[in-house]
């Protein structure tokens, strides 16, 4: 039997603190950040000279000159359970006889805690950044890993990269393809530093499509042939026909996917498909959407071109990933149907490593030629736009994650860019409905009751967006889920 959901109760918490306490090395459940100018993720005007009180993992109070009292009454989860046996079920078809237990909240107790007090000295406090097109498995690994590496290597590199992602100020990512479930488990538990992860699981492609990395001599394929190594490890997946698409989508949902990612059009890195290729027929895309909707979530689709995007929209896809080669007509259709454009500011400027084959490099140049147009027209038409990076298969690329955000400055004010990378991106994340694994507070904002995911910036990024390109220097405090992961004050 599943554990009962933890009940909320009023606790009286005795706050023992020292005004000179160092912040980062004190185990604490309460943090008071004083004297900061707050960009709340939504408003262009900062709140000047405010304090922020964090209790456990949520923002409890935002006000000027917050004074710590001797006691507080704060809603907190109990965090503890006791197991009670209530009987035995017999003749279960798959499990045999078993003892059934329920879990009840332990008695609520008063708890003495220490308090971190941090003087922001007029610096700017912003919500933790959100990247809605990230690849925890792929980002920092070389492309050659697909031929010469193994899952252990990919997992270790991704595990280490999780901490680096967090230390760049990205406290949440939507993982758009791969197998980050173990990393998510360890970062959610606090066992390892890393961002919150909204995982898609292995991205699903048709045979010959964007995520088909099999060799040409692997074909023709028989129905009885084993699936490929990377498919067996849930890094990528192919499916052909409605029944296979249904199966693979349900497998991803079983693994814990918060949304589904498919390739419905040609790609750059893949070897067999040009950019104009439509991938999956309408019925296959509709099958993926129908299954996702039975789980109250949605499908995002990798596509660059018009006809494929229009087919995907008609089938019910809610988020178009990339869209660099889209026309005005399709952008207007996206606005009308309330479909998101999850775009990336990708240019042929050297920030992406060259591919190992000339075909992919040629396709990359074609895609980047459309970046300028799609940003300008999507903004003009009013399409919902989100920010992601899609950095992949280059060990040097992840360090440019913040720099990618600054490239939005070609089309947006610093305020518009930061809003997109915080509260707007958080709105896209909400499309997964009850599949959202983080339900105790809001993401992408600094407000009372929201998750305490925040970055303290030495300077004002609402005037100097380039500050986010150098997080090592300019991000002096990084907090996720109420825990301080960096403090150089």
Identify the pLDDT of residue 28.
63
Tell me, yes or no, whether 445 lies in a domain.
no
Tell me, yes or no, whether 472 lies in a domain.
no
According to DSSP, residue 140 is labeled T
Question: For the chain, what's the residue count?
Answer: 489
Query: Sign of the C-alpha dihedral, residues 418, 420, 424, 425?
Result: negative
Give, for all 489 residues of the chain, the pLDDT tens digit. 333 333 223 333 333 333 333 334 444 688 999 999 999 999 999 999 999 999 989 999 999 999 875 544 444 443 333 444 444 444 444 444 444 444 455 444 455 667 889 999 999 999 999 999 999 999 999 988 888 899 999 999 999 999 999 999 999 999 999 999 999 999 999 999 999 999 999 999 999 999 888 766 677 776 667 789 999 999 999 999 999 999 999 999 999 999 999 999 999 988 889 999 999 999 999 999 999 999 999 999 999 999 999 999 999 999 999 999 999 999 999 999 999 999 999 999 988 878 888 999 999 999 999 999 999 999 999 999 999 999 999 999 999 999 999 999 999 999 999 999 999 999 999 999 999 999 999 999 999 999 999 999 999 999 999 999 999 999 999 999 999 999 999
87 & 149 share domain: no
Identify the pLDDT of residue 216.
67
Tell me, yes or no, whether 471 lies in a domain.
no
What lies within 8 Å, CB to CB, of 216 at 6+ separation is none
202 & 303 share domain: yes
276 & 406 share domain: yes
- The span from the CA of 77 to the CA of 83, in Å, is 17
Among residues 101, 122, 143, which one ends one of the domains?
122
Assess whether the previous peptide bond of 326 is cis (omega < 30° from 0). no
Listed in order, strand segments (DSSP E) in 277-399 are 299-305, 319-325, 340-343, 385-387
Q: What is the enclosing helix (H) or strand (E) of 483? A: strand 483-487
Full-model pTM: 0.87
Tell me, yes or no, whether 177 lies in a domain.
yes
Domain residues for the domain of 329 are 129-435
164 & 97 share domain: no
Identify the pLDDT of residue 8.
28
Domains: count for the chain: 2
Nearest one of 9, 55, 21 to 481, comparing CA atoms: 55
Tokens of 237: 């997946």
158 & 102 share domain: no
28 & 89 share domain: yes
Nearest one of 99, 103, 110 to 9, comparing CA atoms: 110
Identify the pLDDT of residue 111.
58
- The span from the CA of 406 to the CA of 4, in Å, is 44
106 & 149 share domain: no
The CATH number of the domain where 343 resides is what?
3.20.20.140
Nearest one of 448, 428, 323 to 58, comparing CA atoms: 448
Tokens of 405: 């955000």
Tokens of 411: 């089309």
98 & 183 share domain: no
Nearest one of 214, 209, 187, 208 to 198, comparing CA atoms: 187
Identify the pLDDT of residue 226.
77
Q: What is the enclosing helix (H) or strand (E) of 99? A: strand 98-105
Identify the pLDDT of residue 69.
56
- The span from the CA of 87 to the CA of 345, in Å, is 59
Q: For strands 340-343 and 385-387, give the pairing.
A: parallel
**Burial (CB count <10 Å: 0-12, 13-18, 19+), residue 274:** middle
Tokens of 361: 């490099």
Tell me, yes or no, whether 231 lies in a domain.
yes
232 & 332 share domain: yes
136 & 231 share domain: yes
Identify the pLDDT of residue 33.
97
Tell me, yes or no, whether 465 lies in a domain.
no
Tell me, yes or no, whether 13 lies in a domain.
yes
Tell me, yes or no, whether 488 lies in a domain.
no
429 & 351 share domain: yes
According to DSSP, residue 257 is labeled -
Among residues 75, 95, 122, which one ends one of the domains?
122
Three-state SS string over 261-275 comes to EEECECCCCCCCCCC
179 & 223 share domain: yes
- The span from the CA of 175 to the CA of 437, in Å, is 13
Among residues 122, 150, 168, which one ends one of the domains?
122
Q: Tell me if 114 sits within 8 A of 28, measured CB to CB.
A: yes
Q: Tell me if 71 sits within 8 A of 462, measured CB to CB.
A: no
């Amino acid at each position: 039997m599943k554990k009962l959901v933890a009940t909320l109760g009023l606790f009286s918490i005795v706050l023992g603190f020292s005004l000179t306490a160092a912040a980062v090395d004190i185990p604490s459940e309460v943090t008071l950040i004083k004297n900061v100018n707050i960009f709340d993720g939504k408003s262009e005007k900062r709140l000047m000279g405010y304090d922020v009180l964090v209790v456990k993992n949520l923002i409890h109070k935002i006000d000027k000159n917050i004074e710590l009292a001797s006691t507080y009454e704060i809603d907190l989860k109990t965090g503890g359970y006791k197991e009670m046996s209530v009987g035995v079920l017999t003749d279960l078809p798959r499990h045999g006889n078993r003892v059934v237990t329920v879990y009840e909240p332990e008695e609520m107790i008063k708890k003495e805690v220490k308090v971190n007090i941090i003087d922001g000295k007029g610096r700017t406090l912003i919500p933790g950044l959100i990247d809605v097109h990230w690849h925890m498995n792929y980002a920092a690994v070389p492309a050659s890993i697909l031929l010469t590496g193994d899952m252990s290597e990919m997992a270790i590199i991704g595990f280490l990269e999780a901490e680096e992602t967090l230390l760049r100020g990205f406290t949440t990512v939507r993982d758009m393809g791969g197998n980050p479930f173990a990393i998510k488990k360890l970062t959610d538990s606090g066992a390892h530093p890393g961002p919150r992860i909204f995982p898609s699981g292995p991205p699903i492609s048709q045979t010959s499509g964007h995520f088909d990395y099999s060799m040409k001599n692997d074909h023709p394929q028989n129905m009885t042939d084993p699936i490929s190594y990377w498919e067996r490890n849930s890094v990528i997946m192919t499916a052909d026909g409605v029944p296979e698409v249904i199966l693979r989508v349900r497998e991803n949902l079983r693994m814990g996917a918060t949304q589904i990612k498919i390739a419905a059009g040609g790609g750059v890195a893949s070897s067999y498909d040009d950019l104009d290729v439509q991938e999956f027929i309408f019925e296959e895309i509709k099958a993926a959407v129908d299954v996702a909707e039975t789980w109250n979530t949605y499908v995002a689709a990798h596509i660059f071109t018009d006809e494929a995007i229009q087919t995907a929209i008609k089938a019910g896809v809610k988020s178009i990933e990339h869209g660099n080669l889209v026309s005005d007509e399709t952008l207007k259709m996206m606005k009308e149907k309330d479909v998101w454009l999850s775009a990336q500011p990708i240019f042929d400027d050297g920030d992406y490593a060259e591919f190992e084959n000339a075909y992919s490099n040629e396709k990359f140049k074609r895609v980047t030629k459309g970046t300028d147009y799609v940003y300008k027209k999507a903004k003009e038409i009013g399409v919902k736009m989100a920010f992601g990076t899609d950095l992949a298969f280059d060990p040097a690329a992840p360090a440019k994650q913040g720099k990618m955000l600054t490239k939005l400055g070609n089309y947006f004010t610093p305020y518009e860019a930061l809003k997109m990378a915080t509260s707007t991106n958080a709105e896209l994340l909400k499309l997964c409905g009850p599949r959202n694994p983080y339900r105790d507070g809001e993401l992408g904002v600094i407000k009372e009751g929201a998750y305490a995911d925040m970055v303290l910036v030495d300077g004002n990024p609402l005037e100097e967006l380039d500050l986010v390109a150098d997080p090592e220097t300019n991000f002096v405090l990084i907090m996720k889920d109420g825990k301080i992961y960096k403090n150089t004050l």
